[in-house]
Amino acid sequence: MKIDRRSFLAFVLGGAAGTALSPLPWKLTDDISIWTQNWPWTPVPPKGETTYVASTCTLCPGGCGIRVRRVEDRVVKIEGRKDHPVNRGGICPLGAAGAQLLYSPWRVRQPLKKVDGRFVPVSWEQAIGEIAGELRELREAGSPEAVAWIADTDRGTTAELIRRFLTVYGSPNFIRTPSAQDAWETALYLTQGQRATAGFDLERTSFLLSLGSGLLEGWGTPPFVFRACGAVRDRNGRFVQVEPRLSKTAAQADQWLPILPGSEATLAFGLIHVILKEGLERKPFVASRTTGLEDLRRNALREAYAPEAVAQATGLEAKTVVELARAFAAAERPLAVCGRGAGRVPGGLQETLAVHFLNALVGSVNVEGGVIAVPEPEYIRWPEPEMDAVASKGMQTPRVDGAGSDRFPLARYLLNRLPEALLEGEKPAVRVLFVSGGNPLYSLPDSERTAKAFARVPLLVSFSSFFDETAAAAHYVLPAPTYLERWEDVPGAAGFPKPVIGLARPVVAPRLATMPTGDVVIRLARRLGGTLRAAFPWESHEVCLRQTFAASWEPLRRNGFAIDESFKPQPFETASRRFEFGNADLKRLAEFRPLPAPGDPGVFKLTLVPYDSLRLTAALGTPPFLVKALESEILWKNDIRVEIHPQTARDLGLADGADARLVTPRGEARVKLYLTEGIRPGLIGMARGLGREAHDRFLAGRGVSTNRLLAAVEDPSGFEAGWGIRARLERA
Amino acid sequence: MEEPKSSAPSSRSESEKAEKGDGAGAAIILFFILGLAASLLVGWIAFPALLYSEKRQPVDFNHALHNEIVDHGCASCHFFREDGSFSGAPKLAQCVECHREANSDDPEEIRFVEEYVKPGREVPWLVYARQPDCVFFSHAAHVRMGGIDCAVCHGPMGESTSLRPYQENRITGYSRDIWGWNIAGIKRNSWDRMKMDDCAECHAQARVPGGSVQTQKDGCFVCHK
C-alpha cells in the first residue's frame, strides 16, 4: 500500500466530512461572531449599582445644574438637571462630554517641575515648598507686586482666596480672563451706577436683536439661551441676527442681516438715530427713569448715523436699517444683545454702550424681558486681613496690566495688555505668574508675541488639570482636580437674569494626585508665615467653604443650588438715581470710532474673521466626542477649512476643497477652502479652537489656531476688541 | 505486427491497474476513514478541551447551606435594587453583614474572611450566566413582571453545596454556560443553555410583544438595544 495523492485526498475528504459532522465549524463561527460583536478592547462601563449625583458644571461660566450618572463609582453620563432654574434639564455638548475630561489619559497626574526643559514628577510638599521659597525671596527683596495671578473668574471662594493671598502678600495683580462681561459690567456701571453683571431676560422678550452674538454657539449659558431663542418664536416674536456669516444662530433666526464685520456699533447708533429722529422711544420710561438723553441725541443724531451713512458703513440697505429700528421700537418687549460669537472677547466698550442705550431707549433696562443688572453675590464676608508694610506698599503700586490706571480708569482687568507689559523693560515686571484658568498662551491673540512675553517670566506656575499650552510652557504644574472631583461654589450663570449660586461637588474621589487650587493657596500662605498665615485660618478650601456659607451650607449642599426667585431688579445707583445716557464719566470716554482690522488693505485684500462653534472650546481642550462630531466644513481630516464666498473664490481662481495659504500680518497657515454663500464676499471665516499644540492626540495637531493669525486690538478703554484682521489667500 | 505490440503493453497495464485498483480503493477508504476519525476526534474532544480554560471560583460558596439560614430564598442575597435593577452577585458588604468574623471552623470560610473581609477586598466572583455586552437583559421584566422562577434559567443553583468550575471561552471570554455544557448544544433542561435561540423559544411561547412592525417577526430590539 502506497500513500499517494489519492489517499491524501481521501484523508482530506474524510477530514472535511468529519469536521462537518463535529460541532467545530458551527461553534467556531458562533464564537467568532460573538467576539466580533463584543470587541474585548471596547471599553464597557462596569455593571453595578446606578446612582445619580446632582452637581454644577463649571466648564464654562454658564453654571448649569447637572445630574451625573454613576455605575458603582464610575461616571458614565452627564445630564442636565431638570429641577435646575438655569438649564431646566438642558445640557450643551461640552457639558455632556465632561466625563471624557475626567477620564482623559492626558490629565496631569501629579505635580510636575520642569528640569532642563523636561517635566519631572515632584511631591506636593516639594513643589509648594520651592514656590513658597521664591515668593519669600521676592517679598524680602521688597517687590511683592512682581507676582501676578490669572484666573478665569473673580467670584467664589477660590477666587477670593487667591485675591486675599495677593492682597496680604502685596500684589494688586489679580487678573480675570477677558470676556464680553467685561464691557457689559463697565457699561452697567457707567450708566446705572451698579456693580453688577448683565443678565438678559431672553425668555420674555418679543423682539430679540442680536448684534453678532452667537446665541446658539455658546453665548451665555447655552441651554438657557437655546430654550429662550425657541421661546421667542413660540410667542410669535421676532429674532434678528446681525452677523457677517450665516452662523447656526443666523440660520435659526427669522432674519439674517449680513453686516460688514466691525460695523455693529455703527448700526446700533444708526438704529438709535432713527428711533430718536422719529420719536419712537418709550417716552414714559425715558422721561421718568432716565437722564442725559441730550448727550445721546447730540451724538446719535449726527449725519454719520443717518440711515444712508449707516447703510454705507454696514453694507446693509438704508431701508432695512429704518425698518429694523421701527420694528424694534414698536415691539412689546424688545431686547438687543451683543458680545461676538460665544462672548469670549470683550469687544469695544462703545459698542456695548450703544447696544445698552438702544435697550434703554425702548425701556428694556432692569425690567421684565430686558437687560437686568444682576448684583454680584455677597456671601463671602471674611474679616479684613491684617497687612504688613510690604503688603501696603505693594498694593499701592499700579497694576501691571494698566487696569484702573489714568489711561484705563474703567477697566478692572486687562489680560490682553499683559503680554505688552511683560515684553517691556530689561527685566519683566512679573517675576512669578500663576495661571489657574483661561489657558492664556492659547486663548490670547497673536500667539507668537504671547509666547515670547510669557517666556520672559522667570517662574510660571500652571494649575491646569490637563496638559494645555500654558501648562506645557510652565515651570511648575500643580494640577487641580476636575470639577467632578472637588467642591466649588459657582456664583452666577452667564447672562441669566437672576442671582443664583451653584455648588459643584466631588462626584467621584479624586482620581489622581491633584489638589484644589484653594488648598494650594492656603498652604502657600502657611509656608510664608506672618500676616499671610494669619489671614488664612482655614485648614482647607472645603473647611473655608463650609464656614463661609455657615448656616446656608446645609441647604446648599442638599439642594445643589440657591436662587433668589423673588429677585426684582434693583433701583439705579447713579447720582441721579436714573439711567444716565450722559454723565461726566461718559463724557470722558473717547469718541466712538469703528476699529478697523489691522493690516494694509492694499496688500491684504480680504478680511479674516474668526467665529465660534459650539463643538470647539477656546481655553479648555475640546474633548474627543466633540472633535469627532466636528463638521467637515470645519475640519477635513487634519486640515482646517476656511469659509469664503464663491465669488471671492472665483476672483482668486480657487476651487472648493482646494489647499491655500492664508497670510495675515501676524502669520500664515495652510488651510483648505470651503465655498459657501453663507458669508459675505471678501471675508474669510475661520473657526476658533483648533491648532492645539498641547492636549491629547485627538485634538493636538489638527487645524490652525486663529490666534496665531490675529493681532491684539484694543479699544480706547483698554478692552480687547479685535474682530478680525486683513488677510490674503494664495494658491498653495 | 503493430496491433499485438500495442495490445500487449495495454493488457499488461490494465491488469496492473486492476491489481493496483483494489489496493488503491482500500487505501482510499482507509484514509477517508482515518481522516474522518481524526477530525471527529478533534471536533468532539480536542476542540472543546482547547476552547475552554477552566477556572475555580475564588471562594467555594455553599448555596444549600446559606439557603437554609436566610429568610427570603435567592432574593436574600440576589435582590432587586430600589430602582428595579438587579444586584447580581453580592458585594462584600452583604457578606460582611454576617461574616465580620468566621462563624465556623470551615477552612474555606476562614480563608474567605482572611483574604477578603479583613482587607476589604471585593470577591471577584465569576458569573456563569453573564450574557455578552450586546445583549440587554432585565431581571425585573422576567422575574417581577413575567413571574419566572430563578431556576428556570439558572437551574437548581440554590441546592448546590459547592461551586462548580467556571469554564471560560478563550475566544469570546464568556462562560461555557451560555452555549451549554453539551458541546453539541443538546439540552434536557430549560437551564442547560442560554443562547439566543433559548431566549427566543420562550419569547415565542409567551408571545412577548415588541416584534417588528414591518415584518411582524420577533423584534431584535427587545434584547439588542
Chain A: closest CA distance from residue B42 (Å): 8
- Say how far apart CA B93 and CA A72 lie, in whole Å: 13
Nearest beta carbon to residue B88 from set A10, A35, A47? A47
Q: Give me the mean pLDDT over the A303-324 stretch.
A: 97
pLDDT > 70: percent of chain A: 100
C-beta atoms of B43 and A8 within 8 A: no
Instruction: Please tell me the predicted confidence (pLDDT) of residue B211.
Output: 64
- What confidence tens digit (pLDDT) does each residue in A13-68 have? 999 999 999 999 999 999 999 999 988 888 887 788 999 999 999 999 999 999 99
- Say how far apart CA A2 and CA B20 lie, in whole Å: 10
For residue A374, the surrounding DSSP H or E stretch is strand A371-375
Chain A: closest CA distance from residue B212 (Å): 22
User: In this structure, what DSSP letter does residue A236 have?
Assistant: T
User: B-side interface with A, Cβ within 8 Å?
Assistant: 23-24, 26-40, 42-44, 47-48, 51, 81, 83, 85, 87-88, 132-134, 169, 171-174, 179, 183-185
A27 to chain B: closest CA residue: B183
- What confidence tens digit (pLDDT) does each residue in A314-365 have? 999 999 999 999 999 999 999 999 999 999 888 889 999 999 999 999 999 9
Where does the pLDDT of residue B223 fall: very low under 50, low under 70, confident under 90, or very high at 90 and above? confident
Residue A403 in contact with residue A413, Cβ under 8 Å? yes
- What confidence tens digit (pLDDT) does each residue in A156-202 have? 999 999 999 999 999 999 999 999 999 999 999 999 999 999 999 99
- What confidence tens digit (pLDDT) does each residue in A414-458 have? 999 999 999 998 999 999 999 999 999 999 999 999 999 999 999
Class of residue A21 by CB neighbours under 10 A (exposed 0-12, middle 13-18, buried 19+): middle
Pick from A285, A257, A410, A254: nearest CA to A357: A285
Return mean pLDDT, chain A: 95
Q: Which residue carries 464654562 as its cell?
A: A60
Residue A240 is placed in which grid cell?
434678528
Where does the pLDDT of residue A4 fall: very low under 50, low under 70, confident under 90, or very high at 90 and above? confident
Q: Taking 60 as the threshold, does the pLDDT of residue B12 lie above it?
A: no
- Say how far apart CA B181 and CA A539 lie, in whole Å: 61
Q: Give me the mean pLDDT over the A639-662 stretch.
A: 96
Identify the three-state secondary structure at position A23.
coil
Nearest beta carbon to residue A1 from set B27, B51, B88? B27
Instruction: Please tell me the predicted confidence (pLDDT) of residue B22.
Output: 59
Pick from B45, B49, B51: nearest CA to B171: B51
Where does the pLDDT of residue B10 fall: very low under 50, low under 70, confident under 90, or very high at 90 and above? very low
Q: Give me the mean pLDDT over the A459-464 stretch.
A: 98
Where does the pLDDT of residue B206 fall: very low under 50, low under 70, confident under 90, or very high at 90 and above? confident
- Say how far apart CA B23 and CA B125 lie, in whole Å: 60
- Pick the residue of B81, B131, B133, B177 with the most A CBs within 10 A to test the interface with A by mutation: B133
- Name chain B contacts of A27, Cβ cutoff 8 Å: 47, 51, 179, 183
User: In this structure, what DSSP letter does residue B175 have?
Assistant: B
Q: Which residues contact B214 (CB under 8 A, 6 or more apart)?
A: none
Q: Taking 90 as the threshold, does the pLDDT of residue A722 lie above it?
A: yes
In Å, how far are A563, A616, A725 from A634, measured between CA atoms?
39, 10, 19
A51 to chain B: closest CA residue: B83
A10 to chain B: closest CA residue: B32
Class of residue A651 by CB neighbours under 10 A (exposed 0-12, middle 13-18, buried 19+): middle
- What confidence tens digit (pLDDT) does each residue in A693-712 have? 888 888 999 999 999 999 99
Chain A: closest CA distance from residue B14 (Å): 18
C-beta atoms of A50 and B83 within 8 A: yes
Q: Which residue carries 487667591 as its cell?
A: A162
Instruction: Please tell me the predicted confidence (pLDDT) of residue B195.
Output: 93
For the beta carbon of residue A195, count every other beta carbon within 10 angstroms.
Answer: 13
Where does the pLDDT of residue B2 fall: very low under 50, low under 70, confident under 90, or very high at 90 and above? very low
Chain A: closest CA distance from residue B82 (Å): 10
C-beta atoms of B30 and A6 within 8 A: no
Pick from A145, A138, A163: nearest CA to A153: A163
The three-point CA angle A305-A311-A316 to 5° equals 140
Beta bridge partners of A70: A51, A75
Q: Give me the mean pLDDT over the A280-304 stretch.
A: 96
Return mean pLDDT, chain B: 87
Chain A: closest CA distance from residue B191 (Å): 19
DSSP sequence for A104-173? -TTB--S-EEEETTEEEE--HHHHHHHHHHHHHHHHHTT-GGGEEEEES-S-HHHHHHHHHHHHHHT---
Q: Give me the mean pLDDT over the A620-631 stretch.
A: 92
- Name chain A contacts of B129, Cβ cutoff 8 Å: none
pTM, 2 dp: 0.89
Where does the pLDDT of residue B217 fall: very low under 50, low under 70, confident under 90, or very high at 90 and above? low
The predicted complex's ipTM stands at 0.86
Instruction: Please tell me the predicted confidence (pLDDT) of residue B114.
Output: 95
- Pick the residue of A28, A47, A67, A76 with the most B CBs within 10 A to test the interface with B by mutation: A47
Instruction: Please tell me the predicted confidence (pLDDT) of residue B6.
Output: 45
Chain A: closest CA distance from residue B225 (Å): 13
Q: What is the CA radius of gyration of chain B?
A: 29
Chain B: closest CA distance from residue A554 (Å): 26
The three-point CA angle A44-A626-B133 to 5° equals 15
How many CB pairs below 8 A link A and B? 114
Q: Taking 70 as the threshold, does the pLDDT of residue A119 lie above it?
A: yes
- Name chain A contacts of B169, Cβ cutoff 8 Å: 31
Q: Give me the mean pLDDT over the A616-632 stretch.
A: 91
For the beta carbon of residue A657, count every other beta carbon within 10 angstroms.
Answer: 13
Nearest beta carbon to residue B132 from set A23, A38, A50? A38
Where does the pLDDT of residue B9 fall: very low under 50, low under 70, confident under 90, or very high at 90 and above? very low
Q: Taking 90 as the threshold, does the pLDDT of residue B156 lie above it?
A: yes
